[in-house]
Amino acid sequence: MHNRQTQFQENYNLAFTQKLKNKDIPESGSKGTVLMKQGKNEKANLAFSQYVDSIMDICLKAPGVPDSDKEEVIFLGPDENTAHLMDGACNYVHDRHYGYWRAFTTGKSNKLGGIPHDTYGMTTRSVRQFVEGTQRKLQLKEEECTKLITGGPDGDLGSNEILLSKEKIVGVVDGSGVLCDPNGLNRESLEKLAHKRVMVKDWDGKLSDQGFYISIDDTNVTLPSGEKVANGLDFRNGFHLWDGIKADFFVPCGGRPQSVTIDNVHKLFEKDGVTPRYGNIVEGANLFITDAARVYLQDKGVPLFKDASTNKGGVTSSSLEVLAGLSMDEETFSEHMCVREDGSVPDFYQQYASEIVEIVERNAKNEFEYIWSRSYEGPADKRIRSTDCTNQLSEAMNDLNDTVGSTDLYDNIQLRKMTLASHIPKCLIDKVGLDTIIERVPENYLRAIFSMNIAAQFIYQYGDVDSPYYFYKFMAELEEASQKEF
Q: How far is it, in rounded angstroms, from Cα 83 to Cα 76?
A: 10
Kindly report the average pLDDT of the chain as a whole number: 92
CA-CA distance, 147 to 168, in Å (whole number)?
Answer: 6
Burial of residue 226 (CB within 10 Å: 0-12, 13-18, 19+) is exposed
Residue 74, classified by CB atoms within 10 Å of its CB into exposed (0-12), middle (13-18) or buried (19+), is middle
Percent of all residues in the chain with a pLDDT value above 70, rounded to a whole number: 98
* 13 assigned to some structural domain: no
Residue 371 belongs to domain spanning: 24-118+313-485
Q: Is residue 305 part of a domain?
A: yes
Q: Are residues 332 and 304 in the same domain?
A: no
Domains identified in the chain, total number: 2
Average pLDDT of the segment spanning 439-455: 95
Q: What is the pLDDT of residue 87?
A: 92
Is 462 in contact with 396 (CB distance < 8 Å)? no
Asked, for residue 220, whether it belongs to a domain, the answer is yes
204-215 average pLDDT score = 96
Residues 189, 94 share a domain: no
pLDDT band at 181 (very low <50, low <70, confident <90, very high): very high
* 433 — pLDDT class (breaks 50, 70, 90): very high
- Residue where a domain stops, chosen among 310, 341, 361: 310
Q: Is position 19 within any domain?
A: no
Give the model confidence (pLDDT) of 372-389 as tens digits.
999 999 999 999 999 999
Note the pLDDT of residue 63: 64
Residues 253 and 342 occupy one common structural domain = no
The string of pLDDT tens digits covering residues 49-87 is 899 998 898 888 766 655 555 566 788 888 767 888 999
CA-closest candidate to residue 133, choices 303, 253, 276, 358: 303
- pLDDT exceeds 70 at position 413: yes
pLDDT at 346: 96
Catalytic residue among 19, 21, 23, 31: 31
Is there a domain that residue 159 lies in?
yes
* 341 and 415 housed in the same domain: yes
> How many residues comprise the chain?
486
- Shared-domain flag, residues 196 and 240: yes
Region 404-422 average pLDDT: 96
Please indicate, yes or no, whether residues 280 and 186 belong to a single structural domain of this protein.
yes
Supply the pLDDT for residue 326: 95
pLDDT grade for 125, boundaries at 50, 70 and 90: very high
How far is the first Cα of the chain from the last one, in angstroms, to the nearest whole number? 59
CA 214 to chain centre: 29
Work out whether the CA dihedral 468, 469, 471, 476 comes out positive or negative. Answer: positive
Residues 187 and 305 in one domain: yes
410 confidence band (pLDDT: 50, 70, 90): very high
Q: Say yes or no: 159 and 264 in one domain.
A: yes
Q: What is the pLDDT of residue 3?
A: 78
> Is residue 35, in this structure, part of any structural domain at all?
yes
Q: 31 catalytic, yes or no?
A: yes
Same domain? 479 vs 331? yes
Amino acid 69: pLDDT? 54
Last residue of a domain, one of 294, 310, 326: 310
Model confidence at 178: pLDDT above 90: yes
Residue 74 confidence (pLDDT) = 84
Task: Tell me, yes or no, whether 341 and 480 share the same domain.
Answer: yes
pLDDT over 60 (residue 155)? yes
Angle between helix axes 122-137 and 156-163 (nearest 10 degrees) is 50
**Residues 400 and 463 grouped into a single domain:** yes
Positive or negative, the CA dihedral 82, 85, 87, 92 is: negative
Q: How far apart are CA 333 and CA 326, in angstroms?
A: 9
Contacts of 139 (CB under 8 A, 6+ apart): none
234: CB partners within 8 A, 6+ apart = none
Q: Say if residue 263 is in the same domain as residue 335.
A: no
Say which CATH number the domain at 195 has: 3.40.50.720
pLDDT above 80: residue 266: yes
Query: Which of 310, 329, 363 corresponds to the end of one domain?
Result: 310
In a domain, 245, yes or no: yes
- The string of pLDDT tens digits covering residues 285-332 is 988 999 999 999 999 999 999 998 998 998 999 999 999 999 999 999
* pLDDT (0 to 100) of residue 70: 58
Residue 238 lies in a domain: yes
pLDDT in tens, 394-406: 999 999 999 999 9
Mean pLDDT of 117-123: 92
Task: Please give the pLDDT value at position 44.
Answer: 86
